[in-house]
Chain A
């Protein structure tokens, strides 16, 4: 094994122009599999969701899932694709133990959807990613290699779970993405993020990257600056999160630049991304192009969607994420940059739901982008994974607006909700967090503070109003933060005759 020298990312970009391509597989959330009636529930015990068809038993035949075809067409429409008026499934032939028939029913030169695009935003700029094709196929089973490094080479034995075999899978392939320069990792991530949101808005998949219901393969090559000939590309698999998409691209840029700088050549191969190291290692070589011997699937009829039906699907598409963002941005009167910041950390739907729960947009945004973003960041979780609901955030905001809480107390309420102490009102009650608005109680505290801070009080009496700050601080401290600071200040000045 040769030791590869990396070239630093910035250095690499001065010499090479990256060319990116994304192949994304999305498991459709249909109730049954692509070609049989088996359920598609994730996490069932191995080989319990199988039948003669998805096990590829001799004599079994596929019947196409109409809902999967409809979902694929809706994806194609959302990605601005042309929908084929007539197309066929094709068999992709290769031997692998987790593929029951040793061919995959897929689509080859007649994809259901082609020639579309998806606009993504990177650094406040819109970049148009061209979509080559969207096609429908069946998933394979899942192999688990026991012993060795968990890879098939060197394993003691392998286990195959066919529950996944035959789950409908949509493959979305971009055209080569050029001209991104140093932004290439961010572009890759932004594309994957946007695509995931489109899938969510369509309701066609749960797009959970960690469960494999959305899988990104990153194709990358480097071309020396000034050249017009593309370099050899690698295909990186096992990229299981949006963050990994970005890291995998960056790592491949550095690795390939290192190889090229050292006078080496890039091997056309599949590579595996490793979460722990953020690097890729070689997998199957594709130097000898595998011949899949595609031919039209004779067991299935061609798909010929009725144009009127396609138009009906187009007319009933939900509002797509980019349109929605533009609408919300206008409604909330936010700048592009603010909106981009919210988009980047996935705050938009949370803010939207908080607004729906009654909070003013500015308040909702303030909490999610401020206190909550900070806490999510600290604990290393996604904003949406925090143990607080938009409804609860709206309630905290309402308590502040009513004057029952100040910002400091509100932060304590949020802390309580996150700690599982219940709803905001429950936390307020349990922790006794309430602004002291009772004049008598406040007056008594002020009197006590004046008595204990005779020097400061004297200064205020003598006209040094600025010295009142120390007294207000003391009142807040004595009231454990529950006093209304403005009211306390007014009282102090009044009592010291300085008002």
Chain B
């Protein structure tokens, strides 16, 4: 097995023991990027020099006898939504092309402090708005399982990079499913921590009350290790929870569902769901029962209103968050020829710098917040949000976790939904409720759909600060699948 096929935990152990150097590990991944990324398109920026410098620093610390963290020297692909002082931060948008922040995001800083090696910045739907990376101003990323298909989104560059073995780990942000959905359609583990469990400081905001940074990995333990490294209270983010990080690594090692009560969300099934997705989902339910879980059906009636509520709340917040892109202090500036007013330069810049989906959401949000419409749209959506939270609370009185398919379908072909926003939005149907309520939720692979041979994801939702439950159930399923598949699902992936 080559270095790029090893897990993050294995690589960290090899580096810590001195069997391989961090530089060798980074070199192997940089070579892999050079080899395949032209086809995959996972990265917007590859930071070879910075990565090797960081790897050398880790090797030096090891040589000096310093104790290294659990992921020291392990390479990581970093979503381009996180501020990085030494690399551009573009959010997949022309309006931020080439922008270098003067500060690091808290997640970035914690990765560096833990000795992770940032290989570069990954592609994404512009400002994290989308489910396919087709909304990136710099072109789409491709699904390593089938290059004609999307890798999901918005964190599609991050899913593609890990699925294509360009990095063992990556970061993402999940606002309506932007980690779980790409993880599901590329056969990865992708976790959305409890809202406030990971810091948003330095994450270019899409929807402030929903955005949550989280990890991608090829297995549950790696995801948990990364989760533990960058999450936890941050005084720079007022919405960050001042509580200990749930014991996610221990849970990922526990891998048992004996006696656990598992609720199947009734509402996420039936019409619009791909048969192959439902088949794998039902198998997973059966597996959980076989391993000692008590699986019951649970109804969450308000979940059906989650998507419309989300498409009012998220655009409303984004219409305000994206107002700062005005050509005055950073980023693109269009039309500043000395004759135009500041207002005209702002308008020209925003017209030229934002893509169509971003403009659509700014328009929807501006409308929803307007006086006379606020109560009917934004206000009503917030009420739905409360109802969804209540559904979760009621459900978690009966069960320990809720499960559903992560996405109604497997990865769709590039271009198929690009002109149909509603069809695109449906990709997040099952993931949105956890964002609206702030719950923890994970997607783990549960096999391939019979129709197209593409990966299917299972979503496990847990209460606020119950992140460890996601890992515990995910790890149990992963162990079961490993027996069944004779290894990781990704070993079934095509040449990539």
Contacts and interface: CB of A to CB of B under 8 A. Distances in A.
A102 B320 CA distance: 8
Interface residues of A, number: 30
Contacts of A100: 324, 329
Given A59-B203, A97-B342, A295-B369, A102 B329 contact: no
Contacts of B235: 63
B201 A298 contact: no
Contacts of A93: 319-320, 323, 369
Interface stretch (B22-30, B204-212, B302-310, B409-417): B204-212
Smallest CB-CB A-B distances: 4 pairs: A102-B323, A293-B369, A298-B208, A298-B209
B288 interface: no
Interface string B176-189: 00000000000000
Interface string B319-358: 1100111101110000000000011001000000000000
Interface stretch (B96-104, B139-147, B447-455): B96-104
B148 interface: no
6 contacts: A57-B324, A59-B101, A64-B238, A101-B323, A295-B320, A298-B207
Range of interface residues on chain B? 35 or more
Nearest to B327: A97
Majority secondary structure, B binding face = loop
Majority secondary structure, A binding face = loop
A298 B317 contact: yes
A349 interface: no
A152 B343 CA distance: 11
B202 A97 contact: no
B435 interface: no
A300 interface: yes
Given A61-B238, A63-B236, A63-B238, A295 B101 contact: no
A293 B326 contact: no
Interface of A: 52, 55-64, 91, 93, 95, 97, 100-103, 152, 158, 160, 291, 293-295, 298-301
Question: Which residue, of B209, B319, B324, has the highest number of chain A Cβ atoms within 10 A?
Answer: B324
B239 interface: yes
B326 A291 contact: no
A293 B320 contact: yes
A57 B329 contact: yes
Nearest to A158: B342
Given A57-B330, A160-B328, A299 B208 contact: yes
Given A63-B235, A300-B238, A55 B329 contact: yes
B234 to A, nearest CB: 9
A293 B101 contact: no
Nearest to A98: B328
Contacts of B82: 59
Question: Which residue, of B207, B317, B326, has the highest number of chain A Cβ atoms within 10 A?
Answer: B326
B103 A57 contact: yes
Interface in B336-393: 342-343, 346, 366, 369-371, 374, 378
B133 interface: no
Given A295-B316, A299-B239, A56 B201 contact: no
Contacts of B324: 56-58, 100-102
Interface in B163-208: 200-205, 207-208
A145 B442 CA distance: 53
A55 B316 CA distance: 22
B239 A57 contact: no
B154 interface: no
A58 B370 contact: no
A82 to B, nearest CB: 25
A58 B237 CA distance: 14
A276 to B, nearest CB: 28
Contacts of B239: 298-301
B343 A95 contact: yes
Contacts of A298: 207-209, 239, 317
Nearest to A35: B238
B7 interface: no
Contacts of A291: 370-371
Contacts of A97: 326, 328, 342
B162 interface: no
B89 interface: yes
B221 interface: no
Nearest to A143: B342
B12 interface: no
A351 to B, nearest CB: 47
Contact of B370 (A52, A59, A293): A293
Contacts of B207: 298
A293 B82 CA distance: 28
A434 B96 CA distance: 79
A309 B378 CA distance: 34
B118 to A, nearest CB: 16
A101 B103 CA distance: 17
A158 to B, nearest CB: 7
Question: Which residue, of A55, A97, A152, has the highest number of chain B Cβ atoms within 10 A?
Answer: A97
Interface in B51-104: 82-83, 89, 91, 96, 99, 101-103
B328 A57 contact: no
Contact of B204 (A59, A158, A295): A59
A47 B252 CA distance: 49
B105 interface: yes
Nearest to B371: A291
Contacts of A64: 238
Interface string B224-241: 000000000001111100
Contacts of B343: 95
B174 to A, nearest CB: 16
B198 to A, nearest CB: 13
B204 A58 contact: yes
A301 B165 CA distance: 40
Contacts of A61: 200-201, 236-238
Contact of A103 (B101, B200, B323): B323
A300 B239 CA distance: 6
A379 to B, nearest CB: 43
A55 B101 CA distance: 12
Question: Which residue, of A55, A59, A294, A301, has the highest number of chain B Cβ atoms within 10 A?
Answer: A59
Contacts of A300: 238-239
Contacts of B346: 95
